[in-house]
Amino acid sequence: MSVLSNRAKSLKPSPTLAINAKAKSMQAQGIHVISFGAGEPDFDTPENIKQAAKKAIDDGFTKYTPVGGIDDLKDAIIKKFQRDNQLTYKRSEIIVSCGGKHSFYNLAQAIFDQGDEVIVPAPYWVSYPPMVSLANATPVIAETTEENAFKITPEGLQKALTPKTKALILNSPSNPTGSAYTREELEAIGGMAVSKNFFVISDEIYEKIVYDDFKFISIASLSDEMKKRTIIVHGVAKTYAMTGWRIGYTAGPEEIISAMNNIQSQSTSNPTSIAQKASVEALIGPQGEVDKMVSAFAQRRNYIVDRLNKIPGVSCYRPVGSFYVFPNFSSYYGKSFQGKKIENSTHLADFFLEVARVAVVPGVEFGADPFERISYATSMGDIKEGLARIEESLKKLG
């Protein structure tokens, strides 16, 4: 008898979190590692949000809540969609879960079956393919190009489509590339979703982190037809520096939300009561702190992209959103350090960690081996120091 299920045997830990843990354990040993690993804002959760949580505790709001979230929070989410995206949802079309990942996981469990194909444009966020596979469906990886800002084109989509296609995953702005889709691009994709009859899972968690007047559009807002076949996955973690609070939410057709509710009611029950109250304040309280954080991210982005592009042999797409850059380091593949050959993004990430003491996430984990992901949700001081270390270490490769 095998102890583990086949499901568990074939699963490896999330590489973003694993690298983060490795960097932290090196730091705990007194090694000064600069971590460009996990995408987690370095800012503290804004004060008004913390106060709302403290009030919830003082008020004794510490018991079970409805499985899919309290009405107050659903109403705040409904308000957010109306205010920011001109989308109208009912409470029955919203569910709150324990983080964006949990939202996506439960959604996958609710709509995918064996035999279903799910198109995942690469570079993709690390956990999409495993979560699709855990729901017994098949991730179909659709390559994109750096020249096209890593965005899937209608032609690329056409190639990946089969009669088994159940959904396309869109993540705009993107983790790991920072690219984002324009209205025209979304219209082309939406047109295909309608004519070929597939769902779009739109991960909009980086909606608010956009630069240079880029206008975020939710594909669900393009038409009623599109709204019916879009499921939006969202959360408060990235916008409000609330990664540890674990509040994600999903908006979509009532039938799907109701199935997710059943899954949640048999597994995790409600997300934390206190964190739900804090999230109400996050979504409908003052938004000034968000602007401050985004302008700090924008400064860092400018610095990091300019500096990376000055390193010989490195090219880096200039992101329009999120807090990652995805530079191409492949011109260094084939070079060696102390007799050890760097052949891929994993070797180079190991080299950066061991020699430069800088943690990055290898591009291969996002389905794109020429690249490394660098999160700039960290201080400008660390960014300067980390890039200097990367630059110096690359000179050692011959």
Q: How many residues make up the chain in this entry?
A: 398
Q: Among residues 38 and 220, whose Cβ is nearest to ligand GLU? A: 38
Running DSSP on this structure, what letter comes out for residue 38?
Answer: S
Nearest residue to 130 via CA among 171, 101, 98, 95: 101
> Binding of ligand GLU at residue 38 (CB under 6 A)?
yes
Nearer to ligand GLU, 17 or 259 (CB): 17
Our finding on whether 85 is near ligand GLU (CB under 6 A) is: no
Assess 319 for contact with ligand GLU (CB under 6 A): no
Residue among 17, 18, 134, 298 that touches ligand GLU (CB under 6 A): 17
Rounded CA gap, 55 and 50, in Å? 9
The stretch near ligand GLU (CB under 6 A) out of 13-21, 257-265, 270-278, 386-394 is: 13-21
Question: Pattern 86-125, binding to ligand GLU, x per CB under 6 A?
Answer: ---------------x------------------------
Size of the site for ligand GLU (CB under 6 A): 9
Contacts 24+ apart (CB under 8 A), 57-65: 57/274, 61/273, 61/274, 61/277, 62/273, 62/274, 63/273, 64/269, 64/270, 64/273, 65/270, 65/271, 65/273, 65/276
Q: Is 134 in the site for ligand GLU (CB under 6 A)?
A: no
Cβ nearer to ligand GLU, comparing 176 with 190: 176
CA–CA distance, 245 with 56 (Å, rounded to integer): 14
Tokens, residue 125:
């966020």
Q: Which residue is nearest to ligand GLU (CB)?
A: 39
Q: Which range, of 10-18, 88-96, 252-260, 328-336, touches ligand GLU by CB under 6 A?
A: 10-18
Residue 262 sits in the site that holds ligand GLU (CB under 6 A): no
Binding to ligand GLU by residue 16, rule CB under 6 A? yes
What single DSSP character describes residue 98? S
Q: Is 39 in the site for ligand GLU (CB under 6 A)?
A: yes
Amino acid at 123: P
Minimum Å gap between C-beta 203 and ligand GLU is 10
Q: How far is the CB of 120 from ligand GLU (least distance, A)?
A: 15
Residue closer to ligand GLU, measured from CB, 101 or 300: 101
Q: Based on CB atoms, which residue is closest to ligand GLU, 16 or 279?
A: 16
Q: Report the C-alpha gap between 27 and 34 in whole angstroms.
A: 9
Please say which residue, 382 or 391, places its beta carbon nearer to ligand GLU.
Answer: 382
Cβ proximity of 128 and 290 under 8 Å: no
Footprint on residues 271-290 left by ligand GLU (CB under 6 A): none
d(CA 51, CA 65): 20
CB-wise, 131 or 274, nearer to ligand GLU?
A: 131
Least Cα distance to 118 among 185, 165, 163 occurs for 165
Which of 97, 103, 175, 273 touches ligand GLU (CB under 6 A)?
Answer: 175
Give me the residue label for tokens 């042999």.
313
In sign, the C-alpha dihedral spanning 35, 40, 46, 48 is negative
Which residues lie near ligand GLU (CB under 6 A)?
14, 16-17, 38-39, 101, 126-127, 175
